[in-house]
Amino acid sequence: MSLREYFVLRRARKAFKSLRNAFRLHCDVLDPKVRGDLEVRLRDLQQAIRCRETEDLPGVVKLCTEEMEEALPKPPLPWLAEAFDVAVSALAVAFCFRAYYYQPFRIPTGSMQPTLYGIHAETGGKATAWDAQPLRFFKWCVTGETFEDVRIRRAGRVLGWRNDMVPGYASLYVRSAKGEERYDIPSGAAQSLVAEFAPGTPVRAGQSVWRGTVKSGDFLFVNRWIWNFRHPRLGETMVFSTRTLDGLPEDQHYIKRLCGRPGDTVEIRPGSSYLWINGEEAIHPPRLEEIATHASPWKGAPGYLGYQTGAPSLGYANPLARFDLGVGEYVAFGDNSGNSLDSRYWGTVPARNLLGPATFVHWPFTSPRWGCIR
């Protein structure tokens, strides 16, 4: 059999299967005579394939296809069905890509600053034409920034603050005549408002709680496959699950820097901004030394603060300063050591919780951190 005959037979077999399936799908609604004629055509095509009549096959396939298209009912809005098939296929590919290869992740807090930024805010400023719809949406799509003016809707009294409702935000609760109302303020800005809006403080309708620009946290991709082929490396920015970790919410994902691997002894020593691994100052990879020497990760960024034995801003007591790591144990520290809830407070990360290294900041497009992550 020549190569040409092989491809003619292959195309004919695929056409026969497609035509046969279409016929079986609609044969119940066809006129008996038309159904019989189509059965004859399908048998002729099948016989031609079996006998390898490659000279006549293209004509037989064409004739059978034309008669089938003429006899079978036409689907309504065929372009819509085709578009639906394309959309379903695209979504299936996207979900598989997300589940097994590169998963999107959003930085929720400032524990990795200035390497990566979570939701943060700049107090003050005025709204511009770009802050009114529909331009407001396009501004956010490009820059990740929105201008917010949070005002009290109805008079009442402050009930208090909570920090666990929306990642990156603190929630102010007010009791009004309509019941309990919630106002979300970026966490960094809310710290300066706690005294002004203490529990029991009366508030009036229209009163401004906070106004300023909210900047969305960095959106990045997590490489979910690479650690199937190699071990996690010291200094990688890793994403992991919080399940089974004491004191952390279940089924969330955190991002920290991998600062200790199985078999290592990791220390943060008082009076030293360095991380100590197996009795030596950690200078490799270079990012660990940059954090200790207060370098800036990108042009215009504030410098790192170095590794600290505790995070005073978090208000937690008795942080761990030394880790003797066993099999399958990793240490995770935030680059913003003074404001990071990390292994110092809840211990090591087991290998089964590791998701993958963060590899690329893909949004906002105007961010100076856009690109590959170190």
* Domain final residue pick, 215, 234, 253: 215
Do 136 and 268 lie in one domain? The reply is no
Do 62 and 162 lie in one domain? The reply is no
CATH code of residue 188: 2.40.50
Question: Does residue 283 lie in a domain region?
Answer: yes
Q: Residue 67: is its pLDDT beyond 90?
A: no
Q: Which residue has the tokens 């409702």?
A: 165
Residue 202: strand pairing partners: 157
Which has the closest alpha carbon to 367: 298, 302, 305? Answer: 298
Question: Does residue 323 lie in a domain region?
Answer: yes
Do 280 and 182 lie in one domain? The reply is no
The 10s digit of each residue's pLDDT in 87-106 is 887 877 777 766 667 888 88
pLDDT band at 1 (very low <50, low <70, confident <90, very high): low
Separation CA 152–CA 174 (nearest Å): 9
Do 169 and 273 lie in one domain? The reply is no
pLDDT value of position 316:
75
pLDDT band at 229 (very low <50, low <70, confident <90, very high): very high
pLDDT band at 252 (very low <50, low <70, confident <90, very high): confident
Higher pLDDT, 312 or 113: 113
* Side chain identity at residue 20, one-letter code: R
Do 327 and 208 lie in one domain? The reply is no
Number of folded domains in the chain?
3
Residue 360: strand pairing partners: 221, 372
pLDDT value of position 335:
95
> What single DSSP character describes residue 306?
-
292-308 b/e (C-beta count within 10 Å ≥ 16 → b) = beeeebeeeeeebbbbb
Q: Which residue has the tokens 């110092």?
A: 344
Do 208 and 229 lie in one domain? The reply is no
Separation CA 340–CA 113 (nearest Å): 10
Do 206 and 223 lie in one domain? The reply is no
* Domain final residue pick, 181, 196, 215: 215
Higher pLDDT, 360 or 25: 360
3-state secondary structure of 27: helix
Separation CA 291–CA 132 (nearest Å): 40
Q: What is the mean pLDDT of the chain?
A: 89
CB-CB contact of 358 with 239 (8 Å)? yes
Q: Which helix (H) or strand (E) holds 82?
A: helix 78-100
Sign of CA dihedral 223, 228, 230, 231: positive
Question: Which residues, 6 or more positions from 308, have their beta carbon under 8 angstroms from its beta carbon?
Answer: 268, 273, 337, 338
Which has the closest alpha carbon to 336: 35, 120, 36, 184? Answer: 120
The 10s digit of each residue's pLDDT in 117-143 is 988 899 998 899 999 988 999 999 999
Residue 148: strand pairing partners: 212
* Side chain identity at residue 110, one-letter code: G
Question: Does residue 103 lie in a domain region?
Answer: no
Which has the closest alpha carbon to 187: 261, 111, 249? Answer: 111
Separation CA 172–CA 158 (nearest Å): 8
Degrees to nearest 5, angle at CA 111 with 250 and 225: 60
> Which residue segment(s) compose the domain that 188 sits in?
120-215
Separation CA 91–CA 97 (nearest Å): 10
Q: Residue 370: is its pLDDT beyond 70?
A: yes
* Domain final residue pick, 14, 43, 71: 71
pLDDT band at 280 (very low <50, low <70, confident <90, very high): very high
The dihedrals phi and psi of 307, each to the nearest 5 degrees, come to -80, 135
Question: Does residue 84 lie in a domain region?
Answer: no
Do 244 and 173 lie in one domain? The reply is no
Do 290 and 322 lie in one domain? The reply is yes
Q: Residue 47: is its pLDDT beyond 80?
A: yes
Separation CA 319–CA 322 (nearest Å): 9
Do 271 and 233 lie in one domain? The reply is yes
CB-CB contact of 168 with 225 (8 Å)? no
- Mean per-residue pLDDT, 359-366: 92
Do 247 and 344 lie in one domain? The reply is yes
Token reading at 129: 């034409």
Do 365 and 299 lie in one domain? The reply is yes
CB-CB contact of 197 with 158 (8 Å)? yes
Q: 206 exposed, middle or buried (CB, 10 Å; 0-12, 13-18, 19+)?
A: exposed
Question: Does residue 109 lie in a domain region?
Answer: no
